[in-house]
Amino acid sequence: MSVAWRDDPIAHLIGPTSRDDFFARFYEREALVAAHNDAARFADLVSIDTVDRLVTSADLREGQLDMADASRELRRDAYVDEAGFVDRGAVADLYRNGATIILQQAHQFEPALGAFCRALEHVFSSHVQTNLYLTPANAQGFRTHYDNHDVFVLQVSGQKAWRLYGTPIDTPYRGEAFHSGEHQSGAISREFVLKAGDCAYVPRGMMHDASTSGSDPSLHITVGLITRTWADLMLEAVSEVALRSPNLRRSLPAGFASREFDRSAARATLKSLAEELAKELQLDPALDLMADTFIRSRAADNRGAIAEAARPIGANETFRARAYVPFRIAEDTKGVVVIAPGGELMFAPALKEAVERALNGAAFAPQTLNVAEAAEISARLLAYGLIERV
């Protein structure tokens, strides 16, 4: 893992802008461009050779690779065969003639990108995904559009000229995809060129387009933030109140879909229920549920767990919590629960202090946990990728 971004992944993208300034001024509000004057800043994540290797060696299926060209319409059947596999020769030929190669969800193929995404997930508490865009010289992949999720654009090699426009939809929902002809871009509000090592943040809903600048191909990583909204939290909170409120669980009035239905009483009922919700809504149960759902949805970062499964846990070995792995320690009637990526681990109530000690971030040796089950605790946490050997 690159030390350059391990200590502070968000600073690696936006520096010298501070984290606090980014969230106060830019996040979901306006674009930010960070010129780092460091051409190799993102070179440890991917390269053009990475794209070449994946395209020419991996058996990519439809949806894992796409192609785009702003000057023409490209259908998938131009580069995907009848069996649903990507035609490598067609991809190379289309790229040679100006089309952009797009590797979707590239973090699933490349361990370095996967680790970087996990680090950013720790910052945002959201799913983070990456796509790779390789555009030949003098070409443009997409016409002017907006994205329905916030993105960081990491320029890896070459240069790309960007144009930003208006924001026809402020913070669109995940399902509010851009449709050509429905939204006006407005006048250009900002233009800039990203050079290798530079980064731009573009909030969702902001219209933009980009084309290669200079005589070299452009490779950039788009890091997408798939966030949860206050509306999502409100729905969970209302559901939690409904578990306690018979009024919210009552059926809608009989015949409500009829044209003759009188809605006067229903309006009064809805107003009364809204007042009840205002009194009963609680943040913590809903937020705990959303946090636990997010944590469980992550894939375990447990590289080496299979290869070293038979290696005994030494009482004096040194371990520590693995960086950027989300977890939450809770208690229920059966004992101590560690909610972790992929699932949860259950421990006896008497082991709570030992488990907390193992996961508090400080290095430890199993013997310092001071319980007979120290080796088993360490082995289970290691198997789930919650701790690592130092």
CB-based contacts of 257: which residues, under 8 Å, 6+ apart? none
Mean of the pLDDT values across residues 85-93?
98
Q: Is the pLDDT of residue 235 over 70?
A: yes
**Is residue 220 scored above 50 in pLDDT?**
yes
For the chain, give the percent of residues with pLDDT over 70.
99
| pLDDT tens, position by position, 167-210 | 999 999 888 888 777 888 899 999 999 999 999 999 999 999 99
Residue range 103-158, pLDDT digits in tens:
999 999 999 999 999 999 999 999 999 999 999 999 999 999 999 999 999 999 99
The strand order across the sheet containing 335-340 reads 328-332, 335-340, 343-347
pLDDT at position 1 over 70: no
3-state SS string over the chain? CCHHHHCCHHHHHHCCCCHHHHHHHHCCCCCEEECCCCCCCCCCCCCHHHHHHHHHHCCCEECCEEEECCCCCCCHHHCECCCCEECHHHHHHHHHCCCEEEECCHHHCCHHHHHHHHHHHHHHCCEEEEEEEEECCCCCCCCCECCCCEEEEEEEECEEEEEECCCCCCCCCCCCCCCCCCCCCCCCCEEEEECCCCEEEECCCCCEEEEEECCCCEEEEEEEEECCCHHHHHHHHHHHHHCCCHHHHCCCCCCCCCCCCCCHHHHHHHHHHHHHHHHHCCHHHHHHHHHHHHHHHCCCCCCCCCCCCCCCCCCCCCEEECCCCCCEEEEECCEEEEEECCEEEEECHHHHHHHHHHCCCCCECHHHHCCCCHHHHHHHHHHCCCEEEC
Encode pLDDT of 322-372 as tens digits.
999 999 999 988 899 999 998 899 999 999 999 999 999 999 999 999 999
238-263 per-position pLDDT tens digit: 999 999 999 999 999 999 999 999 99
The rounded distance, in Å, linking the Cα atoms of 298 and 107 is 13
Q: Give the residue from 145, 139, 143, 141 showing the smallest Cα distance to 131.
A: 141
pLDDT digits over 27-78, tens only? 999 999 999 999 999 999 999 999 999 999 999 999 999 999 999 999 999 9
Position 315 scores a pLDDT of 96
Bond before 203 cis per omega within 30 degrees? no
Q: What φ, ψ does residue 163 adopt, rounded to 5°? A: -130, 125
Looking at the predicted structure, is the pLDDT value of residue 2 above 60? no
Share of the chain above pLDDT 90, in %: 93
Angle between helices 88-96 and 48-57 (to 10 degrees): 140
**Residue 215 pLDDT class (50, 70, 90 cuts):** very high
Quote the pLDDT of residue 3: 64
User: How do beta strands 159-164 and 190-194 pair?
Assistant: antiparallel
Residues listed for the chain: 390
Instruction: Kindly state the average pLDDT of the residues 277-291.
Output: 96
pLDDT tens profile 261-275:
999 999 999 999 999
pLDDT at 181: 78
> What is the reported pLDDT for 244?
95
